[in-house]
Amino acid sequence: MCFSAGASFGASAILGAIGVVTIVKARTTPQRLFATFPCVFAVQQLAEGVLWLSLKDADLRTWEPFFTYTFLVFAMVIWPVWIPFTLRRLETDNRRKKVMGWLLSIGIMVSFGVGWVLLSYRVHVVPSHHHLHYSFDFPPVAKNILGPFTLLYCIATIIAPFISTIKRMKWLGIVFLTAWLFSITFYNGFVVSVWCYIAAVLSVVVLWIVGMRKAML
């Protein structure tokens, strides 16, 4: 939704459709959990689309905090846990599954930390150049931990696909990493919004992986 409300709503509709197809193709519980990625992205983009409208329409302004926090919970709290959790459920190699367990632990720590930040500090959303900038009322001391927390977030969400034994899963990590690097390079200051929008391309990769059933057995 980093570009406009219409872009977010359009992405949400497409992702929802991809999500339904992906879930239908899944055959096991771990596969169905993994197949929810597009649907989660769809809800996330829908929330940011309504947030765009609430920033422009005085009648919807009272909904701004709700959709701000809804988007941030999906983008910053759910993904660090959901990605390593679902990939761990799919993994059959015990050693790699153990590593993913450590990644899941990191993700849980990140989610708790972000959750505490969302509860403790006010969030400001500012539209700028067709993007949304999310800023927090951090005290100076708290700003020092942003770098380490960002690194832990990336570790929890990006590494698991690269160590998975499932064919094609590495492409999930490649798209995730490419989307992140693209966002911080060309959209610095709007990374949370822009990166999540670009990373929605992951939904197509998820459908591609789930469609290759033999590789997931």
1 pLDDT exceeds 50?
A: no
173 within 8 A of 97, measured Cβ to Cβ: no
Cα–Cα nearest to 4, from 194, 200, 176, 201: 194
pTM above 0.75, yes or no: yes
70 within 8 A of 42, measured Cβ to Cβ: no
pLDDT number for residue 178: 87
The 10s digit of each residue's pLDDT in 22-78 is: 999 998 999 999 999 999 999 988 988 888 888 888 777 888 889 889 989 998 999
The 10s digit of each residue's pLDDT in 4-23 is: 777 778 888 888 999 999 99
pLDDT number for residue 189: 64
For residues 197-213, give the mean pLDDT.
80
